Structure 1
Amino acid sequence: MRKHIAVFVISTLLVLLSFYAVNAIILEQQKNKQLEISNTLLQYSEGLSHNVASALKRVTTRGCDDASLNEYRRLKLQSPYFGDVGFIQDDKVVCTADWGRMANPVPLPGELHKTPSGFILAQFHQKDFFIGNAAILNNVIIFTSRYAYDKFTPVTASYALSSTTKDFGRTFFTVNPESEKRSWMRSTLFTMTITQCSSRWDLCVLVKHNDAGLASLSLFIFILLTAVFYFIWISLSLFFFRLYEDRFSLEKTLIKAVKADMIGVHYQPIVRPADRKIVGVEVLSRWHDQRYVDISPELFIPLIEKFGYYERHYTNIIRKSLAEIADLAIKYQLIVSLNVGRVEIEGGNFSKILRRECLLNNIPLSLIKIELSEKAVAHDGTLGEFCKALKAIGVKISIDDFGVQNSNVARLANLDYDEIKVDKSLVDGISESYKKEIFVIFCDALLKLNKTLVFEGVENEEQYAFISARYPHSLIQGWYFSKSLSRSELEAMLNDSAVLPGGKSKGPGEGI
């Protein structure tokens, strides 16, 4: 139940974030359209202001005589933007082109706006005279046509448009969408306003989209998007919860397996190519779980280290492997190789544990070989002391994975060891002429150290033939001869008097 609540809460948050992203994308697209409209409205308003200003400056007549009225009428007919043209005296409109000489002059509105360029703006609200905006200069007044902005009517279905002075104190034109056409999601959250002002005139335009972003979507599309987002995020949340649960469950199962000593061991044969005889085995950890089947050591060993159970793990592996293989090791004089890393090298208990288990199983220490992995770097002084202590009790030392990580010939000079294991990555290069030359130079140099060479990861006839011909006294380990084996499989192979198979087909991706 808690899992389902957590999935729902997380999915809801992710759905909201998704809608936020979609809203931002839609807004960006709508912003471009809105900028286009505001630019058009600004240019139009500037043109209208220019026409009015130019006309006012051109008027030469003053008064209400017949010649002046005729001039006003002519001026009005010159532009469809002009609703009327008149003359002001004593703060009253005393005559216009349409009304002629007025019996009852109309007072100017109480609030007038003076622009930086000297024009006076007025707004009339008298139904029996005029409703709209007017501009005044030298007592001549031009009334702006109420139809001047009709060309923007189609745009106002989605946008609210305004044209004002820069201080927003005087509005020349404004129109809003019809309320019944507004979105079902009307909110200030989905309102986007773009304001642009003229560099020449005391003029700004505002274009407001009250149904921007998600609000521009239909209810059906919004519900569909909600369903899609919930489906996606619930699916992904469940998937990641499952991964987490599996990992957490895997970790718990692994710790139980270590505590219950359920990590098994296999044995990788090490073969002498001269007679194809098994002369040793490398002990490998193997974990088979009913739920997770076979788990790679590359996954579970780091987890064991992470949770602090590695010493217990390697103690179990030493005890179990030596107990299982003791009779075979003694009978066939097999060298048993055990891998060690930083924990064993620096822990201080490894030698004691090894000696105890060898004594309990009657295995001579001379049949034990310790492989020092270069992937587990230890301080040279500590590593040297570790090697000396083991050599003192008759244990053989092998340098594992040589050729990668921290390979250093100078470092070898400071260690007491018996063999060098050449890493699989170098053996793989035998099939390529350039890499083969590097391989030969590298291995010939190692051969001069008078140590046994063990070639890891030999998987095909070409690799085997080349190594056995050039380095006949070396040892070979890899799938060319055998995969890692259980104790019973190893015994069956040792009891078989036939020569070991040399060229059997291997499955893709197989490894030790």
Structure 2
Amino acid sequence: MSDPNKKTARKAELLKISSSFGRLSPRAMLAATIAGGALLMFVAIGVGEHLATLALRENERLIGNDLAASVDKVLESASASSRANVKALTGSPCSEVERTLAELETHLRYVRAVALVQNGRVYCSSALGLIDVPLSAYVQSPHHARGIALLAQTPFQPGAPVLAVFSSTTSNSGVLYIIEGDYLSDVLVHGVRYGAERAAFSISGNGVLDEKGRFYIAIDASAPYSTRVTSHAWPFAILVASSPSLMTRKRWGFAVASGAIGLLVAGLIAAMYLLAFAPRRLLLAAVRQGLKRNEFHVVYQPIVAVSDRSVVGVEALLRWHHAKWGPISPAVFMEEVESSDMLEEVTRFALQTALAEMSALTPALPLRIAVNIAPRDLERKGFVEEVVAAVRSLPPDTTLVLEITERFLLSQSTRTSAAFSALRAEGVRFAIDDFGTEQNNLDLLGRFPFDYIKIDRQFVSHVDTGGADLIAGIVALARPFGLEVIAEGVETQSQHDVLAAVGVPYAQGYLYQRPATAQRLATSISSSAASTQH
């Protein structure tokens, strides 16, 4: 024998699962999951691109710093190693120091010539001997302690870029070092070897020298540089641009890494979606199998006139007795069914079963038969035709009432309005179920031609403990709309008495009778009628 405690626990688990996802739209959640995954991949690609750009800039910065440090060493070597010896010669006649300058120049790396400056004139050169050239032909700011200038050429060697370094001793006097541009280009070539496509040496206001020894007055617009590194020791900057091959490798590398992470997270989101809705799919599959195995049936609860408790109608209630789990409350599965493709099958089963069973009673009872439907049923193709065919087969004096649960508010679509009109023309009546538990009650009453309002049991349970005014208010609200009120969940005589006092015409609940099969209900009604007559 199966353990009833396990069955109870299993049903409780199903109820918990259903309540967690009852208000979610599966299609909306699927669309949101797909959109979220696509957005995540887009973001991952964007992040990968951003990280690749940052990595490229960092690599360029490292190359620029390394090149700047190398140029710093060249400049320091030219101006510092011989400073004491050369500066002592400043002001001496060229004929006396020419040989000494030539000897010193041979010991200085990268330096093509060393020249002495007196009163703003270059008067003695290690390469040319006695000369007379204004210092301004080389350096525009001789007063600067570390003045340097990048020149396209010199007066004595046209077309050969050089770097002029002036080290002052007094105003407009000092030592001028001429450094070959080719030496700077050799330094810049090292940057290309480390992944830069282009590297250049730049002095603001002077020009630019690239790794191929080409001099530009301004940066070549056709060869933009993405990173600029400024020397902390001298007034120059190194410009760097990464090579296409390096950019491609970096971007592909980060794109693959970010894409893999994006796919992993998207996969986790998809897995979470599947796990979240797996219980729902299992539940709907069980409902589908239950219909095939005849596990569903319909029971009926009488609706009575409060004045004399005579039966005026019944509400058809769908029930599920699972072969393994036993009885399962509609609260566990109906909200899931109403938001799925199973709605059509379940509604058709409840409607056809209820009308067939009540019509088969002998003699047929002149009753209102209430069947619960969802707003989506009214929008479903073929629903009106099914209901009309069923209604036309009903015995005389039998009316079908379609109850629409208020928690799923109706949309004022053309199809819904047409369904209301077509069904009312066939004698079908409409009721709002669980009235007062959701919002937009007045809006619903104004937009759709309802016939009944069913007051939810949570309000009825408080009528004899101070909640009568609310029920009276609902009754007063219903009158201008021509609606009749039905109170649900009546369980005590005191509740019945209060409902009668506030003018509620109809009620249903355990006080009058529990839900029963059609045959038991007919027997009970017949017995009640017979006892009343006697």
TM-score range, shorter chain: 0.3 to 0.5
Q: TM (normalized to structure 2)?
A: 0.46
**More relative contact order in 1 or in 2 (CA 8 Å, sep 6+)?**
2
